[in-house]
Amino acid sequence: MPFRRHAAATAGAPPADIVKTIHTPRLAKTATSPIPHPRPSLPDRVDTLVIGGGTGGAALVGLLAAHSDESILLLEAGPDYGAAADAGWPADVLDARAIPLSHDYDLTTTSSAGDTTLDLPRARVLGGCSSHNGCTASIGAAEDYDDWARRGNPGWEAEQVLPLLEWARARFRVRRYTMTELTEPQRAFVDAGIAGGLPFADDLDDIGAAEGIGPMPVNIVDGVRWNSAFAFLDAVRERPNLTIAGNTAAERIDVCDGVAVGAWVRTPDGETHHITANRVVIAAGAYHSPALLLRSGIGPAGELAELGIEVVSDVPGVGKHLLDHACVALDFAGRPGLVHDLETLPWFPDEQTVGRKKSSVCDDGPYDIHVFMVAGSNSGHPGLPPISLYGGAMRARSEGTVTLGSDLDVTRPVIDHRYGTDPEGYDRQVLGEALDLLTTMAAEPALAAILGEPVPRAHRPLDDIVNYCHPAGSCKMGPATDPAAVVDSTGAVRGVTGLYVADASIMPAISRGNINLPTAMIGANIAVQLLGTTPADALSAFSHTL
Ligand SMILES: Cc1cc2nc3c(=O)[nH]c(=O)nc-3n(C[C@H](O)[C@H](O)[C@H](O)COP(=O)(O)OP(=O)(O)OC[C@H]3O[C@@H](n4cnc5c(N)ncnc54)[C@H](O)[C@@H]3O)c2cc1C
């Protein structure tokens, strides 16, 4: 899901109209205002401390809690609104039509045009970004995971991780759409893609899918965004070995003689509390996981010294190699009445359809371009044109950075994505070819009639790259021979015993679909390795808890 709000243009609180009333969702009937979940007492000592209850963290904790009797404490910086069945979640977070910003971290990066900043939405709530994302579901391509393994990460081959991806897809209750369910603009988009040379595809969540265009599967249940807390935590919430502590943020990992022994955390009362743990797993996402490592003295020694942080372990790759799927956009005014027509529909996801194409420089799999259309709702994009066509570079190679500001605040890391800057120009080549395809499609008469007049932009699309909101790679997984590697193939942080990372930040290269399901698989695969078991055994223990 791309997000294009330029911070300089829309500073201040998000407009009230981005938080809409839900029309149909089942859960929302009793969820008109959030109900705080009872606050658990914070233990002083646990077997496993997990930091971050987003997609990676929730999947990891679901399997760990179901499989073992060891005590687990899951810390989440944002609120925990309880199980889906408790109906305590805020309406805007449940409403799958919009990207709500009510729990946003308020992060930015410099825009590729260099003259403004670009907002990087990031949710501070149990479920992490799956609690405010676009709900398009993709498990990526087999080549993505075979590539991870080939880069020196055994245990990540497609054959090994496929059962975990399929489990994640089932837990997210992903369903495929048919053409008859699409809105008129989305149908026209698919037809234009077929006229532009793409085959029709109804298998976009298949690990062996090739080029094609069709309806995109989504993890939406009766209009409700089915987040990772519902998917993975609801089944284990009542397990006596699990405590979930919302509104509790880790400030620093406690490392003693090279061994992670716990963390200092900020309680909901604003107090600092120490928790002792036999093992610490960080799953705070691609911006906050490296920030937490740096704050704990684990990172490039020179950078830590400049920040005034005592070096615990010199790990040069922390906060480097930050990846995302870069996007370009073409904007249109829409035919008269389009926005109104779309608003009268009960609900629909932002990105109902996706086209995939192989660029001339794609050398490692079936496709590396996404094209899609965001029509009408634009709910999380105040002030943007009514209809936009997007092209994404799905194997983007440009590398950005995450570091800390002088205040060392782990919740507000300094992020520079450096979109479109890879030295070989791969990303710009792919984005240019995506633009060519979109231009051909936009000229198809049926789609052209819906798009209406182009809306001029301040910069050429290739000079104004926007984010797909899929940050990854900032704590890269790799072998000891890779100087940029932060964790090994078990998720273990180099140079610190008992410390692990289990979220999108460990991707050695970005998977070529939307990354929520692959991130759940990462959390699950680290859990399998920590348990010393097999995927089949871990999944069977989980299913017994249901
Ligand atoms: C606007 C948007 C739209 C998206 N749309 C899609 C889509 O349609 N399809 C798709 O597949 N993907 C989508 N994504 C991407 C997907 O949701 C994320 O890639 C995925 O959620 C990443 O999981 P994660 O575990 O790495 O991080 P997150 O889900 O971000 O979880 C990290 C969690 O850690 C918590 N945390 C951070 N610091 C601390 C701390 N110090 N102490 C305690 N807790 C902490 C955070 O509050 C957060 O809950 C979208 C993302 C965004 C932002």
Which residues have a Cβ under 8 Å from the Cβ of 524 and sit 6 or more positions away?
59, 60, 62, 63, 164, 167, 168, 535, 538
Q: Report whether residue 98 contacts ligand 1, using a CB cutoff of 6 Å.
A: no
Site to substitute for ligand 1 among 101, 130, 228, 266, most atoms within 8 A of C-beta? 130
What is the rounded CA–CA span in Å between residue 206 and residue 511? 13
pLDDT value of position 35 = 58
In this structure, which amino acid lies at residue 109?
T
Tokens of 37: 């979940």
Contact indicator for 459, 113 with CB cutoff of 8 Å: yes
Lowest-pLDDT range, 18-27, 32-41, 477-486? Answer: 18-27
How far is it, in rounded angstroms, from Cα 256 to Cα 390? 48
Please tell me the distance from the alpha carbon of residue 370 to that of residue 389, in angstroms, as a whole number.
11
Binding site membership of 246 for ligand 1 (Cβ less than 6 Å):
no
Residue 279: the pLDDT is 98
Separation between Cα atoms, residue 4 and residue 419, nearest integer Å: 13
Regarding the beta carbon of 247 and ligand 1, being less than 6 Å apart is answered no
Task: For CA atoms 114, 431, 402, 50, give the dihedral sign.
Answer: positive
- Domain 177-216+326-395+421-464 classification at class level: alpha beta
Per residue in 280-324, pLDDT (tens digit) is 999 999 999 999 999 999 999 999 999 999 999 999 999 999 999
Q: What is the DSSP string of 305-348?
A: HHHTPPPSEE-TTTT-SBB--EEEEEEE--STTHHHHHHTSS--
CATH architecture observed for domain 7-102+124-175+218-321+399-411+471-544: 3-Layer(bba) Sandwich (3.50)
Spatial separation of the C-alpha atoms in residues 96 and 101, rounded to whole Å: 13
Higher pLDDT, 431 or 31: 431
Summarize pLDDT for 98-116 with one digit per residue, the tens.
888 999 999 999 989 888 8
Which residue did the predictor score with more confidence, 545 or 461?
461
Nearest residue to 105 via CA among 73, 75, 76: 76
Tokens 């937490």 — which residue?
Answer: 292
Q: What is the CA radius of gyration of the chain?
A: 22
pLDDT at 38 exceeding the cut of 70: no
| pLDDT value, residue 284 | 98
Question: What residue's CA is closest to ligand 1, atom 47?
Answer: 124
Which two structure tokens, joined as six digits, stand for 249?
A: 């943020």
Dihedral, CA atoms, 154, 157, 162, 168, nearest 10 degrees? 60
Q: Could you state, in order of their start, the residue ranges of all structural domains in the chain?
A: 7-102+124-175+218-321+399-411+471-544, 177-216+326-395+421-464
Cα–Cα distance measured from residue 534 to residue 528, given in angstroms and rounded to the nearest whole number: 6
User: For residue 78, is pLDDT > 50?
Assistant: yes
Asked whether 124 lines ligand 1 (CB < 6 A), one says: yes
Report the range of poorest mean pLDDT among 9-18, 136-145, 226-235, 338-347: 9-18
Contact 40, 508 (CB under 8 A): no
What's the CA-to-centroid distance between 123 and ligand 1, angstroms?
A: 6
Instruction: Determine if ligand 1 sits within 6 Å of the CB of residue 504.
Output: yes
Q: Is 403 helix (H, G, I), strand (E, B) or coil?
A: strand
Compute CA distances 495 → 151, 258, 315, 451, 498, whole Å: 20, 7, 8, 54, 10
Mutation test residue for ligand 1: of 133, 172, 522, the one with most atoms within 8 Å of CB: 133
ipTM above 0.95, yes or no: yes
Closest residue to atom 8 of ligand 1, CA basis? 134
For the cut 60, the answer to whether the pLDDT of residue 333 exceeds it is yes
In angstroms, the CA 284 to CA 75 distance is: 10
Identify the DSSP state of 434: H
| 3-class DSSP assignment, residue 464 | coil
Q: What is the pLDDT of residue 12?
A: 29
pTM over 0.80: yes
**pLDDT for 127-159, tens place per residue?**
999 999 999 999 999 999 999 999 999 999 999
Please name the residues in contact with 93: beta carbons below 8 A apart, sequence gap of 6 or more.
81, 100, 102, 103, 125, 131, 132, 225, 227
What average pLDDT does range 417-435 have in this prediction? 97
pLDDT for the residue numbered 17: 28
Q: Which of 30-39, 75-84, 514-523 has the lowest mean pLDDT?
A: 30-39
When comparing pLDDT for 1 and 274, which is higher? 274
